[in-house]
Amino acid sequence: MKRILKGSIGVFLLLGFLLLGCDQDKKASSESKAQTYTCPMHPEILQNGPGTCPICKMDLVPLHSTAAHGPADDSLNALVKPTNELVISGIKTVRPEKGSRTAEMSLKGVINYNTNNWKSVSARVSGRIERLYVKYSFEQVRKGQKIMDIYSPDLANAQQELLFLKNNSELILLESAKKKLLFLGFTQSQIDQVLRSGKISPTVSVYSPYSGYVAELALNAAASSGSSAQAGGTRISSSSSAGMNEMNSGGSADVVPTVQSISTGQALQIREGQYVTAGQKLFDLINTEQVWAEFFARPDQLQEFKRGMKVSVRSLDIAEQNSDVQVDLIQPYYREGVNYSLIRANLPNSNRAWKVGQLISVSKQSKADGNWVPRTAVLQLGKKYVVFIRRNSAFVPVYIQVNKLTDEWVDIGNSLGPDQEIAINAWFLVDTESFIKAERL
């Protein structure tokens, strides 16, 4: 009996020690987990137990182990979650609609010189410039305006011949002498003045046969570094970008024709006292009463433009400045190895409202058949397009093919079935502030 009691006492003592040891281990582990504190502003401050930060005097907070949170999730599942987790379960859905929509194609362009209206003023006789009334480039000249006084022996001899035939009553030859003076640059009023006075004018005034702005095009073309185009030619800038966002513009790349640089306010090369020869060009006259609206189109856009069709030209700076004109030229070749074609339309400009170098937007409207979804339902990621389709209680992103774009609709072709539901606002699933529609500037 005593042996049994002694054995029982030993067993109870052993169990007591084991239980006491387990409790101490749990207590130690729990205390170790709660003993480390740190400062939110200074994480280098660590201490075992609550307290204040010695730097900023803030209360210390427990330091939690990163292992308790698990590894970071860098997959797309963390970005696109079921709608009940993003509080968008009530977002409206739509289905693709087959039918016709009015599509508007908008391309960027520029107002350029109409080189068909450029004129050259040349000396009809040899002589010396006694006085010059036009002295600076881009000075405005009107038809019939006096541009210079010139002394020419040829003109003096022609006047002497005219008076001789008049005095000898050679009427047939007299008419021929008048025509000769007209060809040499005389006006009818100048001929009548010589016949009335009977005197020869040694210095004759020369009047402009055209209206326009004075320019020396040959000198400007030679001064243009790296320019191989002729005067008034159009070329593609090598620094142009071909990556414009098509969802925003609906047009071609951000490439516009360049305009030839013409110096303004500089003195002309001809001077008073200078001798000129018959046929020598004095200067050029640029007329801007008719200008060109020029823009580039990609090969896939050329089928939308035909010669003679109407397009709408609108200024990018002045909203109320616009005009409807006809396409006059579709350039049938590419220049400088760039896969764009030049399209040109003549633009009347009698009131000088359109300025050369002014940026414009050229647009045309046409009806197109397709499988349409709202433009807000399509999200562009680089060169790809995405919509969110409903699958059970969540929205799943899928890639689609875009055939045509309008201001409000997108033709997705056969990318989705007719019964497929998609979110009406794709951006709402990524950024809840993106549904705000900005006005066009």
52-83 pLDDT, tens digit per residue, is: 998 888 888 888 765 545 555 545 554 555 44
- Range 118-224+261-287 classified under CATH 2.40.30.170: no
pLDDT, one tens digit per residue, over 261-296 is 776 667 788 889 999 998 888 888 988 889 999 988
The CA R_g of the chain, rounded to the nearest whole Å, is 43
Residue 248 pLDDT = 38
**The pTM is what?**
0.57
At 423, the pLDDT band (50, 70, 90 cuts) reads: confident
Q: Inform me whether the pLDDT recorded for 253 exceeds 80.
A: no
Q: Inform me whether the pLDDT recorded for 327 exceeds 80.
A: yes
pLDDT, one tens digit per residue, over 182-208 is 888 888 888 888 888 888 888 888 899
Burial class (CB in 10 A: 0-12, 13-18, 19+), 158: buried
**Between residues 313 and 262, the one the model is more confident about:** 313
Residue 230 pLDDT = 38
The average pLDDT across 14-35 equals 54
Residue 336 pLDDT = 66
For the residues of 88-149, what is the DSSP string, one character each?
Answer: -TT--EE--EEEEEEEEEEEEEEEE--GGG-EEEE-SS-EEEEEES--BTT-EE-TT-EEEE
Q: Inform me whether the pLDDT recorded for 368 exceeds 90.
A: no
Residue 337 pLDDT = 66
Residue 34 pLDDT = 52
Residue 132 pLDDT = 92
Helix axis angle for 188-197 and 153-167, nearest 10°, is 60
* Ranges assigned E (strand) in 133-276: 140-141, 146-151, 203-207, 212-215, 275-276
The average pLDDT across 103-124 equals 87
Residue 170 pLDDT = 83
pLDDT, one tens digit per residue, over 41-54 is 888 888 888 889 98
**Lateral strand order in the sheet of 212-215:** 119-122, 281-286, 212-215, 140-141
d(CA 429, CA 87): 10
- Fold identical between 80-102+368-429 and 118-224+261-287? no
The average pLDDT across 86-94 equals 63
At 105, the pLDDT band (50, 70, 90 cuts) reads: confident
The average pLDDT across 240-251 equals 38
Q: Inform me whether the pLDDT recorded for 398 exceeds 60.
A: yes
**Between residues 427 and 325, the one the model is more confident about:** 325
Closest CA to 197 of 168, 150, 163, 232: 163
Q: Inform me whether the pLDDT recorded for 247 exceeds 50.
A: no
Q: Please give the mean pLDDT across all residues of the chain.
A: 76
The average pLDDT across 300-316 equals 87
Residue 90 pLDDT = 59
**Between residues 230 and 405, the one the model is more confident about:** 405
**Between residues 129 and 339, the one the model is more confident about:** 129
Domain ranges of the chain: 2-66, 80-102+368-429, 118-224+261-287
Residue 130 pLDDT = 92
Residue 387 pLDDT = 87
d(CA 206, CA 209): 9
Residue 438 pLDDT = 35
Element housing 220 (H / E):
helix 217-223
Q: Which residue has the tokens 């040694």?
A: 202
Proportion of the chain above pLDDT 90, given as a percent: 13
Q: What is the second-level CATH architecture of the domain 80-102+368-429?
A: Beta Barrel (2.40)
The CB density around residue 335, as the number of other CB atoms within 10 Å, is: 15
What is the token pair recorded at 404?
Answer: 């045509």
The average pLDDT across 167-179 equals 87
The average pLDDT across 419-435 equals 72
